[in-house]
Structure 1
Amino acid sequence: MECAAKGRGTRCVGPAIRRCARCGAVAYCSLSHQISHWSDHEQECERLEVQMRDADILNTFPFTFSEEATLQLSCWKEYYEWRSISLDSPVALLLHWPLTIYHALQLNDSRIRSRDVSKHINIHYLGPDKELIQLAVFGELLALLPDYDVRIDFVGPAIPEYRDGEKTYLHSYVCCDDRDCECKYPSEASCGSVVTLQLLKGFYHDRFKDLMKDSFPHLIIAPNAGVAAYPSWMETVELIHGLNTPAVFTDFCEEAAHLAACCLSSATGCKLALPVQLNPFRQPIAVEETALHVPCYSNCFLFGI
């Protein structure tokens, strides 16, 4: 964890072990740095104090593959039971990507159904990064949405040039651990539905016309977006707002989600359609946050316009 006053003029004198006594979310290398940073920290201290009260809830999971995860969390637990997956299996480290999509669809069910979805669901997925080497996990949507063909267009600058336009078709998902489960028949859990994945390099507002040639989105999702950290989001947010399509954003911690929500409300002039809330399908391994000592997980909090 870095000193919260790092880079403010004077050099840090050692490790950041001096915590703010009120919120406990920030730390300093010395009393002088803590005093010099108070004019900035004063504006956020009370808010961070409230967020830290939920640390125990955020840090609990039912899985046995993590020593820190001991308390039951109903949604992940129910999902593991439904798929007959042992709680000592770390598959949730990967499944949080498709499960977050599924949860976002459920939260926006009424808005999506009003668009006459039929048997096809089109999703625009903004800012993929680590997902690009884990595309096979999105086959789990075949188990979650067995009656639909799902198309996901991944759009972002992290997509390599040589993969621009690449398409992948997923026709099966991994069988559960129950030997007698019906997912074993027919073999390899094949089904009539398909998940189509397409990669497009660039920012969403630059590739939007290309996307509209093939699919108008029923849902837009931007995992771990960092809306408040990257000014390039503003043009995309304005575009999304004009579409009147449900759009869900996630971020690593509540403070990042709060700042992003303020940016979205300011850019659109409207209140959030989906207030900041905990994602029950967040990834269960904590992410180290260098600036704040707050609970931090991939896809931890979600919110939407």
Structure 2
Amino acid sequence: MMQVVVVLIPSDLSKPLKTHYISWDETGSAKIDHGILSLLHQDEDIEISNFDAMDDRIEVPLLRPGNSTDSPGLYAYYRSYGRLKSQPTPNIRATRLAMAVGLMSLRFHGDVLIARSHPSGRPRWSNVTIEDLRGACISPDLRSKNQNELMCGIGDDSVREDMEVAPLWIKNAAQKNYHDAVAIARLRKVMENEKKHQQNVDKILANSSSSEEKFSLTAKSPLCLHCRRPSKNLCKSCSGAYFCSPQRGCRSVGWSHDCQCRTWMSYVSRREELSTFGYFDPDWQAKLVGREFQLSDDPYKKFLASQMNIKCDEDCEVIYSLSMSSWWRTETDGWAGGDSSSAQQVDITTRKSYLQGFAPIPSEYLPPMQRVCDQDYERLLSKNTNVVGLRRLLSWEDYYRLRDIPPQSPVALLCTFPLTIYHAIVEYGEVPVTVARMLRRPLRIHVVGTEKELNFLDLFKEVGFLLPEDLKVEIIFIAREDMLPTKCRMATSASSDGDGDGNNDDRFLLRVEMTTNLTVGVVGGTYAGESIDDTTLDPNFDCGSGPPDMIIAMNAGLYAYESWRSVIDYLYHNKGVVGVFSDYNEYSGYNCASLGGAASRESLCINPFRQPLSLPVYSMNLPQFSNGFIYVFNEQELD
């Protein structure tokens, strides 16, 4: 006789998860399928002889088994709706489990049975326990701190602070499922007619891009999470999502929010912490985290209009003039795929001083355009260094004091970008820095997914000024060609019409020495996937003196664009390259971090150099800040 332990997840939340034993004889007529059916029909009296005739179970693979012993498979079973008189109750806990393993669109109704398979598939089945699944059934966010917080909140006395709330193979499931999906997509692409497929993809992307751009430019108020109609009614439980009035029924139809509701409550509870920037003068900063800034972009535009002498019309649209050439332009008008009025004026070949870029802010409110010396660090800050001797800055206060910037200065609104890169190097770049120094070459960094950073390239001199002079750094900004401003696209076209001699420098739209220890380059394109062509880049060779030591992407949103797949795939197959990403809010950050596996999930944390400005999310009421959260793929430690 064969026996396996399975777990039943009832759709009724008042009923606990329950362990069941299924026994069968491999040589006889009784199959494991019969055991699964009997559990799904446990409220009915059905004879075994009728099981084959009324088999209405549906099998859903939640995780494909791998080859290693720590890579089992996971399967869900539920009854088909076709034979039921009405759709059964949504299964919140089983849907949370699906979300936890990266299957964000999967929804379950009715009781769900979970079975686990052996990694090798022989024998197929192995035992699964309630302890394996409990954490994922409580919240899709599997970070230990978050899980313990939620479990304690529901009065689970069995929880300990040091307790692992999910096994490693569950925490790594989202990463594995993501790469499986990418592999399947590639196979499908090969099997289809290439030209026809590409035309369809281009059409879909074009329609998607235009609609997203229109939405982002026209949305002026919060939107219902379910139907996307304007609404200001917050979820009464978590205050993290907007829904239409009860009469429309969006809250009940959009029941999948129940899978996230308690988790979002904890995210919302961190708003005060995220909104606290103690050092800044409240006359300019405190208002930027107020409620009106969480609901619309217009208050920020009005703030810039009053503080930076940027003129706006009655609809808060920027009125441009030929003399308006400061770095604040893209803050007021956005990027819009390089096609906004502000982006079209960007010329990356023109160098600017801080006084020109931050205009009209006076010079006494700006950081000096010179290197920070060791005496300044020792005089102004405690001796806080990482293991390779790089100075740690722990807050905006540390940075402002070090650079002699008064609290009245709003430069942090833009300095969030270079400071996030500096923070990534100091906190996660110890091994790459050590390797670069040993080989006596620059630390090589690719900043991928670049957009409005192209407007203030000179501001990244701050990275060079803050790092020690003997650490040479090469930062290559890589922007999708459809995200480049008009003047950059013209330069790309001119480069592609060149002699085609294969020189790596043909890819560069710009390469300039910003400081004595920092070289900055700009490249148009995306990382190559299966093949390299005129629109893709080989990250190992095309973008500088060699392959990157670190990949950094700010406000990435890895789920948002297919072009991120090649970046994630590159990091997956090159464990020696550290990937550091920032994201706007905790929900997006956590889901994207899960693509890097268990360690990446746990690495998600608040970025001390987030922009001191609350941003609207429209369909959500989660705390949202540019570069708000940070996480790392392939984190490394020195032995």
- State the partner residue of 1:120: 442
Deviation, 1:69, is 6.8
- Report if the CA contact (8 A) 2:444-2:547 is conserved: yes
Deviation, 1:163, is 4.3
Which amino acid in 2 is paired with 1:304?
A: V
Change (3 A) 1:90 1:74: same
Aligned residues: 273
| In the alignment, structure 1 residue 272 sits paired with structure 2 residue 600 | yes
Change (3 A) 1:40 1:163: farther
Q: Deviations over 1:255-282 (max 9, x none)?
A: 11011122333xxxx5328611000001
Match of residue 572, structure 2, among 241, 245, 253: 241
Provide the C-alpha distance between the structure 2 equivalents of 1:285 and 1:294, rounded to a whole number of angstroms. Answer: 13
- Report if the CA contact (8 A) 2:243-2:251 is conserved: no
Which amino acid in 2 is paired with 1:169?
A: V
Provide the C-alpha distance between the structure 1 equivalents of 2:288 and 2:397, rounded to a whole number of angstroms. Answer: 12
- State the partner residue of 1:46: 262
TM-score (norm. length: structure 1)? 0.82
- State the partner residue of 1:152: 475
Provide the C-alpha distance between the structure 1 equivalents of 2:601 and 2:265, rounded to a whole number of angstroms. Answer: 26
- Give the 3-state SS of the residue equivalent to 1:271 in structure 2: helix
**Range with bigger deviation, 111-120 or 154-163:** 111-120
- State the partner residue of 1:88: 408
Provide the C-alpha distance between the structure 2 equivalents of 1:291 and 1:171, rounded to a whole number of angstroms. Answer: 41
* 4+ residue segments displaced more than 4 Å: none
Match of residue 140, structure 1, among 441, 453, 462: 462
| In the alignment, structure 1 residue 232 sits paired with structure 2 residue 451 | no
Deviation, 1:219, is 1.3
Change (3 A) 1:83 1:303: same
- Report if the CA contact (8 A) 2:540-2:547 is conserved: no
- Give the 3-state SS of the residue equivalent to 1:241 in structure 2: helix
- Report if the CA contact (8 A) 2:447-2:477 is conserved: yes
Deviation, 1:204, is 2.1
Provide the C-alpha distance between the structure 2 equivalents of 1:299 and 1:45, rounded to a whole number of angstroms. Answer: 24
- State the partner residue of 1:182: none
- State the partner residue of 1:204: 527
- State the partner residue of 1:215: 546
Match of residue 595, structure 2, among 229, 238, 263: 263
Q: Deviations over 1:2-56 (max 9, x none)?
A: 111225xxxx4xx412111111011122113443344220111111111111110
- Report if the CA contact (8 A) 2:443-2:549 is conserved: yes
Q: 5+ unaligned residues in a row in structure 1: which ranges?
A: 173-192
- Give the 3-state SS of the residue equivalent to 2:445 in structure 1: strand
Q: Deviations over 1:128-187 (max 9, x none)?
A: 101011101001112111322221111121234234422242445xxxxxxxxxxxxxxx
Provide the C-alpha distance between the structure 1 equivalents of 2:261 and 2:432, rounded to a whole number of angstroms. Answer: 38
- Report if the CA contact (8 A) 2:420-2:610 is conserved: yes
- Report if the CA contact (8 A) 2:436-2:443 is conserved: no
- Report if the CA contact (8 A) 2:241-2:619 is conserved: yes
Which amino acid in 2 is paired with 1:229?
A: A
Provide the C-alpha distance between the structure 1 equivalents of 2:587 and 2:232, rounded to a whole number of angstroms. Answer: 21
Provide the C-alpha distance between the structure 2 equivalents of 1:48 and 1:273, rounded to a whole number of angstroms. Answer: 16
Percent of counterpart pairs with the same letter? 28
Provide the C-alpha distance between the structure 1 equivalents of 2:566 and 2:402, rounded to a whole number of angstroms. Answer: 41
- State the partner residue of 1:66: 285
- State the partner residue of 1:287: 615
CA RMSD after TM alignment:
2.3
| In the alignment, structure 1 residue 252 sits paired with structure 2 residue 595 | no
- State the partner residue of 1:169: 512
Provide the C-alpha distance between the structure 1 equivalents of 2:406 and 2:491, rounded to a whole number of angstroms. Answer: 35
Which amino acid in 1 is paired with 2:456?
A: Q
Deviation, 1:102, is 0.8
Q: 5+ unaligned residues in a row in structure 2: which ranges?
A: 1-221, 290-392, 493-507, 529-535, 634-639
Match of residue 298, structure 1, among 618, 626, 632: 626
Which amino acid in 2 is paired with 1:6?
A: C
- Report if the CA contact (8 A) 2:412-2:611 is conserved: yes
- Give the 3-state SS of the residue equivalent to 1:286 in structure 2: coil
Q: Deviations over 1:94-143 (max 9, x none)?
A: 11111101111111233224424346221100001010111010011121
Provide the C-alpha distance between the structure 2 equivalents of 1:198 and 1:303, rounded to a whole number of angstroms. Answer: 24
- Give the 3-state SS of the residue equivalent to 1:228 in structure 2: coil
Change (3 A) 1:74 1:107: closer
| In the alignment, structure 1 residue 5 sits paired with structure 2 residue 226 | yes
Deviation, 1:67, is 2.7
- Report if the CA contact (8 A) 2:432-2:443 is conserved: no
Provide the C-alpha distance between the structure 1 equivalents of 2:430 and 2:272, rounded to a whole number of angstroms. Answer: 32
Q: Deviations over 1:52-93 (max 9, x none)?
A: 1111000111312213379xx961111101111001111111
Deviation, 1:211, is 2.6
Q: Deviations over 1:212-255 (max 9, x none)?
A: 66232221101111112223322221112222211001110101
Provide the C-alpha distance between the structure 2 equivalents of 1:115 and 1:274, rounded to a whole number of angstroms. Answer: 25
Q: Relative contact order: is structure 1 or structure 2 higher (C-alpha 8 Å, sep ≥ 6)?
A: 1
Change (3 A) 1:106 1:273: farther
Which amino acid in 2 is paired with 1:167?
A: L
